Structure 1
Amino acid sequence: MSTERESLNFIEEIIEEDIKNGKHGGLVYTRFPPEPNGYLHIGHAKAIVLNFEIAQKYGGKTNLRLDDTNPTTEDTHFVENIKQDIQWLGFQWENGELYASDYFGKLYEYAVDLVKKGLAYVDDSTPEEIAEMKGDISVPGTESPYRNRSIEENLELLEGMKNGDYPDGSRVLRAKIDMASPNMHMRDPILYRIKHEDHHRTGGEWCIYPMYDFAHGQSDSIEGITHSLCSLEFRHHRPLYDWFIEKLEIFPSRQIEFARMNVEYMITSKRKLKRLVEEGFVTGWDDPRMPTIAGMRRRGYPAAAIREFCRRAGIAKRENLIEIGLLEYCVRQELNKTADRVMAVLDPVKVVITNYPEGQVEEMEVENNPEDESAGNRMVPFSREIYIERDDFMENPPPPKKFYRLGPDRMVRLKGAYIIECNDVVKDESGKITELHCTYFPESRSGSDTSGLKVKGTIHWVSAEHAKEVEVRMYDRLFTDPTPTSHEDKDFLEFFNEDSLKKITAKVEPALPHAEPGTTYQFLRKGYFCLDPDSTEDHLVFNSTVNLRDTWSKMKKN
């Protein structure tokens, strides 16, 4: 048990108090219970890190349970992706994944038990009538005309529902609680509905399915979950959760709510994410602009960075908005340690070194990662014609004092190679620069410079003869507004950023075609980029991950 009480979050305080009191024999048993109806997103990442790390901290265990109670929206494809995401984040659940559908038989027994206790009834009202009978926050509900059916009749009707005797929507099973309760969830909630649809695991075995509120809490109880951690929007569901535990006399799982992960420029509604996919705003659930774990992985975000972001965001009791700069800071910090550096020119202009021997090629030694000596060095070919970034040259107006790159009659060092000086500028008919003619100083080679020349600037380059062309997908925020779903009078899609994806053709050093998809590199002086799975041997595609500029931490220091 931790002794640093000042460092505990409120959930850890609750758990340590439970352990101190010997509750559940000191066991800490959590679960991560996603619905398999979409991909996991950044909010799920927070829940995964919290549930697994809390259990690890106190020597407990964590279940993965797929809450698959709606056959209409669920699919095994989503199940497999969920499993992959959790393992990629670095966690492993206890004893194989579980499913709410594993408990369909037991949940039905619970429903029968409630009917026998006079605490549930079959209602023939239409969905519209039930909604009207519920009233609203200021108006008490009215009781259904079927609320006082006999236990025998309810049992018979429930059996008929299970056997498929009635059409979809014709009957539901409702709990009998309090139609005047100020908590709308306690106004005789629906427990079962009829759906003549095959389930992804149970096939056609069932034609009634439990509602989420009935299946979720009871599944926790069946599994003996000691601390049921969920996001804040479920706080109003807790009285119902506890009511079922009390009336069914089952294992008393404790529900504890924490603030969900709200991040600037991201949305965490699966319904809205689904719209982005189905309406073609993105290429799929794993589009690198999406706030899904799969999308962030494809963009090149390291799992360690996402875990660190979730820890830094913290566990709160109240909703808050996390700056996206913190996420990018965590990504940048991790990649700075782990990503190899390479040279890639995103907006190339050709440089001809006029006094360099034609046909000569030299191998220049460049370090792979200055933050990691074990990463070693690599050899990069150098020749008479090279590419540099167009914005590393300035002609007019004359370069400012702090511009330490190339200009007319100005010198700059080429990374790992020589110092060059620009002597001439070649332009096309429109005035666009097409070539720079430069000279080099043979004695200025990096590592053995005897030229005596002093230059302040160093730029990256690639050999024109050896460079490979690649597609680079430059990604920006998916939305133009940091909180696109907060505007009640507007559809969140009105804030879709039409410039969130731009494709360019870049020149890269020749070693990169041997890279593995999913590998993230630092393109020197430009940012971090990840090799996309769309890549083929003849067509490499890189996704922009995050730029090098760390404005977030600088603002925090100021």
Structure 2
Amino acid sequence: AVVRLRTSMKARNYAFRDPVILRIIDHPHPLKGTKYRVYPTYDFACAVEDHEQGVSHILRSMEFTARVDVQGEVFDAMGWARPIAIQFGRLSMEGTPLSKRKINPLIRSGVVKGWDDPRLATLRGLWRRGVHPEAVRRLILDIGPSKANALITWELLSSYNRKVVDPLANRYFYVPRPKLLVVRSSPEVEAVKLKLHPSFPERGWRELKVKSRAGVAEVYVDSQDLEALSSRKFRLMGLFNVQVEGEEEGVAYARYVGDELIDPKVQWVPAKHYVKLRLLRPGRLLSDGEVDERSLSEEEGVGEEACASLKPGTLVQFERVGFARVDLVEEGFVQAVFTHR
């Protein structure tokens, strides 16, 4: 049995044609058992709750447009002032769900690690990924309260975020896929100082302890860089220029070839003064509507010693790699989440 709200069966809005507002159900309720027999439907319950809570404005997506007439009629029948209802188009994010109804099962099944999983576009997930709240604010204001649905791409969000975090993020060296590079005939270098941020010298400097001895300096360099530059001179950023001469038993050897500024430049980390660094790289959680179990990868590398003093939540830029947010700091170990280039 049901109770209907008397309106008109000729209404153009199908939802307004004598809508059901109460149901009589004898089956036991999963939480209340047999205590009640009459239950309100969505429209009646929303109208009563909005009135009881003093709601003045209702903001919701376009699929609820048909419910405005029904809930407004309940307000009129009860002698209450109608709140203002505003409908807007839904936002969707490329490659990840926004609906709690879709995210909850992913969390319960362990597909994602929680509401702050960096593959999610929840506010907690975005912040863990290194997306600044101001970037989200600017993007939403630019999109505006349109009635048309909008698809946000990660590239679009990244472009907004880059403008916000670039002046905030200090620079550090991180070397993925590290390989030991022994530089011969190098000058005696105890340490080099590099700016924390090229545009803000007042922030100070960071120090990388090279401690070259007897014409030999040892550093870690990305093995892919060494392979790509095996026949070229290149510059170790802020240090000096080298030319790779060969490799033996997994160790690369190079010679010092000057100090003039040249390209290309590669980042490096002192071989005896570093921290282990793991970089989480979140990708698109959904591919063609299916969960991609490889959408969160882990990359092991080494970072300069100064990374050990960073606090969780700090936004940084790993030079030649990209922006990241520090996720975890332990003795001799740092974990960060890659944001974007």
Q: Is the shorter-chain TM-score for this pair beyond 0.5, marking a shared fold? A: yes
Q: Distance in 2 between matches of 1:186 and 1:505?
A: 62
Contact 2:206 2:306 in 1 (8 A): no
Which residue of the other structure, out of 71, 74, 80, is the alignment partner of 1:250?
Answer: 80
Aligned match of 2:307: 512
- Residue 532 of structure 1: SS of its match in structure 2? strand
For 2:313, the aligned partner's letter is G
Aligned match of 1:270: 100
For 2:247, the aligned partner's letter is V
Q: Which runs of 4+ in 1 moved over 6 A?
A: 205-209
Change in 2 beyond 3 A, CA 1:191/1:296: farther
Matched, 1:367 2:189: no
Q: CA deviation at 1:538?
A: 5.2
- Residue 315 of structure 1: SS of its match in structure 2? coil
Aligned match of 1:522: 317
> 1:206-230 deviations in whole A, cap 9, x for unaligned?
9987555334344444455443222
Contact 2:235 2:261 in 1 (8 A): no
Q: Distance in 1 between matches of 2:174 and 2:186?
A: 22
> 1:443-498 deviations in whole A, cap 9, x for unaligned?
72xxxxxxxx45222211100101111222121111223xx3xxxxxxxxxx2123
Q: CA deviation at 1:183?
A: 2.1
Q: Distance in 1 between matches of 2:103 and 2:178?
A: 37
Q: Distance in 2 between matches of 1:276 and 1:435?
A: 44
Q: Distance in 2 between matches of 1:323 and 1:191?
A: 42
> 1:149-181 deviations in whole A, cap 9, x for unaligned?
xxxxxxxxxxxxxxxxxxxxxxxxx64555675
Q: Distance in 2 between matches of 1:326 and 1:283?
A: 25
Aligned match of 1:213: 43
Q: Distance in 2 between matches of 1:180 and 1:385?
A: 84
Matched, 1:411 2:244: no
Q: CA deviation at 1:305?
A: 1.1
Which residue of the other structure, out of 462, 477, 499, is the alignment partner of 2:294?
Answer: 499
Instruction: State percent identity of aligned pairs.
Output: 27
Query: What CA RMSD, in Å, does the superposition of the two structures yield over aligned residues?
Result: 2.8
> 1:84-103 deviations in whole A, cap 9, x for unaligned?
xxxxxxxxxxxxxxxxxxxx
Q: Distance in 2 between matches of 1:196 and 1:325?
A: 45
Q: Which has the higher helix share?
A: 1
Aligned match of 1:438: 254
- Equivalent residue pairs, number: 330
Q: Distance in 1 between matches of 2:78 and 2:172?
A: 63
Matched, 1:353 2:183: yes
Q: CA deviation at 1:340?
A: 1.0
Q: Which has the higher strand share?
A: 2
Contact 1:530 1:543 in 2 (8 A): yes
Change in 2 beyond 3 A, CA 1:242/1:426: same
> 1:392-448 deviations in whole A, cap 9, x for unaligned?
2236xxxxxxxxxx323x3222212112222x21144xxxxx22212225x72xxxx
For 1:508, the aligned partner's letter is G
TM-score in terms of structure 1 length: 0.54
Contact 2:275 2:334 in 1 (8 A): no
Q: Distance in 2 between matches of 1:427 and 1:415?
A: 24
For 2:300, the aligned partner's letter is T
Aligned match of 1:189: 20
Aligned match of 1:394: 227
Q: Distance in 1 between matches of 2:137 and 2:129?
A: 16
Contact 1:195 1:208 in 2 (8 A): no
> 1:263-315 deviations in whole A, cap 9, x for unaligned?
22222222211121122211122211112111111111111111112122222
> 1:500-550 deviations in whole A, cap 9, x for unaligned?
1111211000111221111121110101121225x544543211111x2xx
For 1:435, the aligned partner's letter is V
Q: Distance in 1 between matches of 2:321 and 2:240?
A: 21
Q: CA deviation at 1:374?
A: 3.8
Change in 2 beyond 3 A, CA 1:191/1:345: farther
Contact 2:15 2:67 in 1 (8 A): no
Aligned match of 1:462: 269
Matched, 1:302 2:132: yes
Gaps of 5+ in 1: 1-122, 124-143, 148-173, 199-204, 396-405, 429-433, 445-452, 485-494, 549-558
Q: Which has the higher contact order (CA 8 A, sep 6+)?
A: 2
The 5 Å alignment of 1:13-412 reads 123=1, 147=3, 175-177=5-7, 182-184=13-15, 187-191=18-22, 195=29, 197=31, 212-356=42-186, 362-383=190-211, 384-394=217-227, 406-408=229-231, 410-412=232-234
For 1:323, the aligned partner's letter is T
